[in-house]
């Protein structure tokens, strides 16, 4: 089976779930190519990208200028270059009556260039990550008259922000043409259905991890040891890091023998550094910046408690599933997270960790204090979390579920 992945950015540090999915398919013997709009400039790279030579099978569309006149000028060049290779496809990509703003903005024209260059390649399945890529997938299939089946994965931003920005009917072209849809949590399933997704074509499959890469260790506190708390995530509003910092600062007044590490970078770094200074916890809270997969695993291994206090951002953006929750639980960390999007599916509340309301610093602090005062519960909670991840989020098991989805849509040809 030959599979094409449509993604926005590749590789992207914060989207390890896409790499995990691709690697899982390759390990099962499937051929995978990746079609991305842009690449992310990385100082650090996921080792699986090199191990499986993923960039050798990654194809990028031409960069789309923000200036429309320059975009149009480049479009003329694209036409001149490929006119005698795929003339009908080029002209059809400008049909704004059929393809709306994708055609008017010339984005569709730019996006088909890698397929013109790879016109001798064919695929059984085109797997699109995020709803906008699903639209790209069904339009590309139509333009080239491909027989490939279109499978679309919805995550978070695509169902929470895009409908607010472009209207509730933004995905109707996809729902009218696609073959199967995947959501990672019960919350996302409900959201996608509310946007018009045919319920009979929707499958719930979470994104997962390889538990063998996140080795379990039972947590305990040695005499005189600092309590080490960890968060892994981009420094953006929806991660709610402001609230976890405030909670840790509150707890530190009673229990100063703690240390809070935050692994990740992003646009809110300066404001979070200022908050840490204002709360006078510079000796307890550290922003570590981006870390590689191995470095993150080392941080998990050295820590006692994991926090992910995600919130709904001002623009409506939300988390998807919170894959770091699975990573932390797999390694035996008790977790504290918010009642947010797919998180209730991602931990066992009261068993492997705790869920608290969004933006509730007091509740975050209370759960932290409980775990600090009762370290004897850490091993039991950690073991429960590890078993939960092995049972529900093992990428090998999830890969087989995904393959069954592919086979199902192909059987209906």
**How many angstroms separate the Cα of 368 from the Cα of each of 222, 365, 377?**
18, 5, 13
Mean of the per-residue pLDDT values for the chain? Answer: 95
Maximum CA pair distance of the chain?
A: 75
Q: Quick check: 102 pLDDT over 70?
A: yes
How far apart (Å, rounded) are the C-alpha atoms in residues 35 and 136?
A: 11
pLDDT at 47: 85
Q: Is residue 220 within 8 Å of 378, Cβ to Cβ? A: yes
Q: Is residue 202 within 8 Å of 189, Cβ to Cβ? A: yes
Q: Is residue 68 within 8 Å of 41, Cβ to Cβ? A: no
| Residues 13-47 pLDDT 10s | 778 899 999 999 999 999 999 999 998 766 667 88
Q: Is residue 346 within 8 Å of 208, Cβ to Cβ? A: no
Q: For residue 134, what pLDDT band results from cuts at 50, 70 and 90?
A: very high
* 102 backbone dihedrals φ, ψ, rounded to 5°: -65, -35
Residue 226 DSSP label: P
Q: For residue 412, what pLDDT band results from cuts at 50, 70 and 90?
A: confident
pLDDT at 16: 85
Which residues, other chains included, contact 4 with Cβ-Cβ below 8 Å and sequence gap of 6+?
32, 33, 34, 35, 123, 125, 126, 127, 148
pLDDT at 42: 64
pLDDT at 135: 97
Give the gyration radius of the chain's Cα atoms.
23
Calculate mean pLDDT across residues 229-245: 97
Domains of the chain: 2-61+112-208+394-411 (3.40.50.2000), 212-392 (3.40.50.2000)
Q: Is residue 45 within 8 Å of 73, Cβ to Cβ? A: no
* 402 backbone dihedrals φ, ψ, rounded to 5°: -65, -45
| Residues 86-99 pLDDT 10s | 999 999 999 999 99
Q: Is residue 318 within 8 Å of 312, Cβ to Cβ? A: yes
pLDDT at 43: 60
Q: Quick check: 413 pLDDT over 70?
A: no
Cβ count within 10 A of residue 159: 27
Residue 252, Cα to own-chain centre: how many angstroms? 32
Work out whether the CA dihedral 190, 196, 199, 202 comes out positive or negative. Answer: negative
Helical spans, DSSP H, in 280-377: 293-302, 323-330, 343-346, 361-373
Helical spans, DSSP H, in 16-67: 16-27, 47-51
Which residues, other chains included, contact 184 with Cβ-Cβ below 8 Å and sequence gap of 6+?
153, 154, 155, 204, 205, 206, 207, 320, 321, 342, 345
How far apart (Å, rounded) are the C-alpha atoms in residues 328 and 309?
A: 14
| Residues 351-366 pLDDT 10s | 999 999 999 999 999 9
Residue with tokens 């979470």: 206
């Amino acid at each position: 089976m030959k599979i094409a992945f449509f993604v926005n950015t590749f590789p992207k540090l914060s989207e390890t779930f896409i790499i995990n999915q691709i690697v899982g398919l390759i390990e099962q013997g499937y051929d995978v190519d990746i079609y991305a709009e842009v690449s992310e400039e990385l100082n650090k790279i996921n080792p699986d990208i090199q191990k499986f030579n993923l960039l050798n099978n990654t194809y990028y569309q031409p960069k789309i200028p923000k200036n429309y006149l320059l975009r149009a000028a480049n479009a003329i060049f694209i036409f001149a270059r490929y006119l005698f290779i795929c003339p009908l496809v080029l002209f059809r990509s400008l049909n704004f009556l059929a393809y709306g703003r994708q055609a008017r903005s010339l984005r569709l024209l730019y996006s088909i260039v890698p397929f013109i260059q790879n016109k001798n390649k064919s695929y059984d399945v085109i797997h699109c990550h995020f709803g906008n890529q699903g639209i790209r997938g069904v339009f590309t299939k139509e333009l080239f008259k491909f027989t490939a089946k279109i499978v679309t994965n919805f995550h978070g931003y695509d169902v929470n922000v895009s409908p607010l920005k472009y209207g509730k009917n933004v995905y109707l072209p996809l729902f009218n043409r696609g073959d199967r849809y995947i959501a990672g949590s019960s919350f996302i399933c409900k959201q996608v259905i509310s946007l018009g997704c045919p319920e009979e074509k929707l499958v719930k499959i979470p994104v997962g991890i390889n538990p063998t890469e996140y080795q379990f260790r039972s947590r305990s506190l040695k005499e005189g040891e600092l309590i080490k708390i960890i968060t892994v995530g981009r420094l953006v509003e929806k991660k709610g890091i402001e609230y976890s910092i405030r909670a840790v600062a509150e707890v530190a007044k009673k229990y100063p023998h703690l240390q809070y590490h935050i692994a990740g970078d992003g646009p809110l770094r300066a404001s979070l550094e200022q908050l840490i200074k204002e709360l006078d916890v510079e000796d307890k809270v550290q922003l570590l910046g981006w870390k590689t997969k191995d470095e993150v695993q080392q941080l998990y291994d050295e820590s006692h408690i994991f926090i992910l206090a995600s919130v709904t951002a001002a623009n409506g953006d939300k988390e998807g599933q919170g894959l770091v929750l699975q990573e932390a639980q797999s390694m035996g960390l008790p977790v504290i997270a918010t009642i947010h999007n797919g998180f209730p599916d991602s931990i066992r509340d009261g068993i492997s960790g705790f869920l608290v309301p969004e933006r509730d610093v007091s509740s975050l602090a209370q759960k932290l204090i409980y775990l600090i005062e009762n370290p004897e519960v850490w091993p039991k909670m950690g073991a429960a979390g590890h078993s939960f991840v092995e049972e529900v989020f093992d990428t090998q098991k999830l890969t087989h579920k995904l393959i069954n989805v592919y086979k199902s849509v192909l059987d209906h040809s």
